[in-house]
Structures are given as C-alpha cells and as structure tokens.
Amino acid sequence: MINESYKQMLTQKSVIRELSEYATARGKEIGYENVYDYSLGNPSVPTTQHYTDTVIRMYREEDPMTIHGYSPSLGIETVREAVAQSLNRRFGMNYEGKHIFMASGAAGALAHAFRAVTKPEDEIIVFAPFFPEYREYIRRTGAKMVVVPPKTDDFQIDFDAFNAALNEKTMAVLINTPNNPSGVAYNTQTIEKLSAMLSQKQQEFGHDIFLISDEPYREIIFEGADAPYPARFYDNTITCYSFSKSLSLPGERIGYVAINPKCTDADILAVMMGQISRGIGHNCPSSTAQLAVMQCLDETSDLSVYETNMNLLYDALTDMGFEVVKPAGTFYIFPKALEKDAVAFCQKAKAYDLILVPADNFGCPGYFRMAYCIDTEKVKRSIPVFKKFVTEEYGK
Ligand code: PLP
C-alpha cells in the first residue's frame, strides 16, 4: 500500500497554489496582464546586481570542486562566521559561527528547529493568522500545533488567549514577524510581554520553552515600523531566516538557523541539526548559494516597490470601506472580507479576474490575503476593478 496520509493530502492541496495555477491558466485565455493575481508570495524584484556578479565571477574563477562540492553538513564555516558577524553588527548580538546552521530556506530552517527542541506529543504554539504550511511542517514532526486565535484589531498577540494555551506540554512557541499574511510586525511592547510571559512559564513548568522566530520578511520593513529583533529579548530564541525574500532568491533555497548564544545547549544545537539533516534529507544546502550570499549579507534587493504597492492598496481599500490593519512590512495585506464567508467573497472576486486568497487556512476565517509583489502599474489598474467588484456585489 502507498502512504495513505500523503495520498489524502491530494484532496487538500494548497489553496494558494491552486489559485495561482488558476491565475496562470486564466492568463493564457485573456492575457496575464488582465489577471490581477494577488495569490502567490513570489518576489517581483530581481536579486541585486552584486549577487549576480558574484555568482558569475565564482563560476568563472573559483575552483569547481569548491563551488559545486558538498557543503559540510552544518554549512560552510566561513559563511557561518560571516552570518554571525552580520547579525552581531545589525542587531547587537554575540553570535559565533558555531551558532549558525545553514539551511534550505526558512522551510528547511524551521524543519530543523522544530525537531531540535521538540519530540512527538509536545506542543508548539502558533498565533493566527499564520502561514498555512506550518500545519504540515509541524504535523510531520509528530508534535501538536496549538493555535492562539487572532487579535484582529491590530494583529499583535492576544495575551489572555496565549496564557490559556500555555501548559506543561508547551515546548516551543512559533512567531512570524513581520507576518505572513497580516503584514504586521510585533512591536517592542509585544515582544517584551511575550518574553516576560515565556520566562515566567519556564519557571512555573520547570523546563525550557523555546521561541522559534520565523523571519523571512525581516528586511521588508516599512517606514516608521517598530519591528525589534526578538532574540535580543529572550535567551531561548532560535531564529529561522531565509534569503528568499530579502535577496529575491526563493529558487536558490538558502537560509539559516541562528541560535541565541544564551539559549540552553546553544553550543550543541547546530551540531544536532547536522544530525537532524541526516534523518530528513534536507541536508547540505547549495555551496554556490552559501558562498554567494556570504558576499551580500548586509544588502537587499530594491524592496521599495512593496511599500509603494502597500500604500496604494491600503488607501484604496480603506476608501472602499474595508477594515484593514496597515502593514508594517512584507508584501501582504490582510483585509476583512465584505461578507462572513471569505471563500465566497474571493470566489465572487474571481469573476472580475481579481485573485484573492481566503484566509480560512491561515487560521483567520472572514479575512483574505493579497500578495502585492506585482508591478505597481498592475496594482493601479486593479483598483478600479476592485471598486467595480465591491460596488456591483456589495453596493459599496
Ligand atoms: N515562513 C513564512 C512565513 C513564509 O511566508 C515562507 C514562504 O513564503 C516560508 C516560511 C518558507 O520560506 P522559504 O522559501 O525560504 O523556505
């Protein structure tokens, strides 16, 4: 018999992927320029010229055995050291190379972090709204995902609900700031309160509680945002990072885990992750990608288009009467649908070739996500279409 559990998943494919495939198919019928595809979080700006030049130079000049050889299982030592130094410079931390584990994007980083600090039956707390893939990432570790309901007035943390979710089985708490799908970043007050509560609960339960901080959008931060680095506030923090969005390299599958030097067992966690790789096969990320990002650690693609798009959409959506929290970063915005059933709302929008993602799978029914990593010109053209949709369907 083949594996029934994965077979069952065929009937529950990713809603985002399905909508994106629909948008592509519709584009073939009417021209993709006429489809307002807000489905997929795929960066719309190219990587930096410096990254491209670095790769070209490496291919021309470096020893092929080095750039195409297997990476050590924890990552290339010079790269790990450079990542540590970059984080120390930018966030006032004290990482050493031994605290960095190179991984295949944030997905790979999270796979290692979960396994390093939890075992089957432990609980991992997640805050809604959350990236839907968390469900599968966690399920496959055998741990249980416990969801804290959303605080929809600002998408910070509902601390009463969080307090109620914490118990002796809680081994890890997963945060994602700035957040996919809400675009909100946890502010200093939230991170301070979260750290204080976790410290107190560690004492009460007599065991560690690890904060796993998923930060692929860390560099996509808009003007005036208060978006602190969580590991500065809480010792047991394991940060998962990706270059997918900051350097527009999602296809290169490159990121890392950074273990706070003050974390319990900080000196062995990365080594343990090397062993975890053996079990899950997510091992030895591309040597070329590691060596190339090492040269670009303190830079990003030109991310300004995301803020431009966010402002256009935020103004238009509020004008149309949507309830929406202004994003502090990412390339997502997360309005409340104009009817209770966001699936029905998004289905109606499809008739206008507006591709919106209902947030039921993000743990936040009644809301929808727009990924505005698309050309500004298209965002502008989509606004009158959006207005037509809400006027005709909802009398707005
Ligand atoms: N975490 C969040 C919140 C994401 O939005 C994504 C991708 O969109 C990932 C993790 C996975 O990122 P990566 O492509 O780096 O594996």
pLDDT of residue 9: 86
Instruction: Encode pLDDT of 57-105 as tens digits.
Output: 999 999 999 999 999 999 999 999 999 999 999 999 999 999 999 999 9
Q: What is d(CA 261, CA 189) in angstroms, rounded to the nearest whole number?
A: 23
CATH of the domain at 372: 3.90.1150.10
pLDDT tier, 18 (very low <50, low <70, confident <90, very high otherwise): confident
- Model confidence over 359-388: pLDDT tens digits? 999 999 999 999 999 999 999 999 999 999
Q: Which of 278, 294, 310 is the last residue of a domain?
A: 294
- Say whether pLDDT at 260 is over 90: yes
Q: What is the pLDDT of residue 369?
A: 98
Please indicate, yes or no, whether residues 97 and 156 belong to a single structural domain of this protein. yes
- The arithmetic mean of pLDDT across residues 117-125, rounded, is 96
Question: Tokens in use for 337?
Answer: 């649908």
Instruction: Characterize 113-148 residue by residue with b for buried, 16 or more Cβ atoms within 10 angstroms of its Cβ, and e for exposed.
Output: bbbbbbeeebbbbbbbbbbbebbebbeebebbbbbb
Which of 13-22, 33-42, 187-196 has the weakest average pLDDT? 13-22
Q: Do residues 383 and 312 touch, judged by C-beta distance below 8 A?
A: yes
- Co-location of 141 and 230 in the same domain: yes
In CATH, what number is assigned to the domain containing residue 194? 3.40.640.10
Do 72 and 175 lie in a common domain?
Answer: yes
Residues 39 and 109 in one domain: no
292 pLDDT more than 80: yes
Global confidence as pTM: 0.97
131 lines ligand 1 (CB under 6 A): yes
Last residue of a domain, one of 270, 294, 318: 294
Same domain? For 86 and 20 the reply is no
Residue 5 has pLDDT above 90, yes or no: no
Protein residue with least CA distance to atom 12, ligand 1: 106
Q: In whole numbers, what is the pLDDT of the chain averaged over residues?
A: 96
Amino acid occupying residue 155:
F
Q: For residue 239, what are the β-bridge partners? A: 213, 258
Name the E strands within the chain: 36-37, 100-103, 123-127, 144-148, 170-176, 210-214, 237-242, 255-259, 332-333, 354-355, 357-358, 368-371
DSSP-assigned beta bridge partners for residue 145? 124
Mutate which of 114, 176, 214 for ligand 1? The one with the most ligand atoms within 8 Å of its CB, which is 214
Q: Which amino acid is at 325?
A: V
Task: List for the chain the helix, strand, coil content (%; round to 5).
Answer: 45, 15, 40
Range of the domain at 113: 51-294
Distance 204 CA to ligand 1 centre (A): 33
Give pLDDT, residue 160: 98
Same-domain pairing of 30 and 59: no
User: Do both 12 and 41 map to the same domain?
Assistant: yes
ipTM above 0.90, yes or no: yes
Distance separating alpha carbons of residues 122 and 140, to the nearest angstrom: 13
114/76 same-domain check: yes
Same domain, 153 and 255: yes
As a whole-number percent, the residues of the chain with pLDDT over 70 amount to 100
Give the C-alpha separation, 209 to 199, whole Å.
8
The two structure tokens encoding residue 133: 């893939």
Domain stop point among 294, 320, 347: 294
Q: Is 216 in the pocket of ligand 1 (CB under 6 A)?
A: yes
Number of domains in the chain: 2
Encoded amino acid at 387, one letter: K
Residues 33, 175, single domain; the answer is: no
72 CB-near residues (< 8 Å, 6+ apart): 284
- Are 126 and 257 in the same domain? yes
In terms of domains, do 193 and 176 share one?
Answer: yes
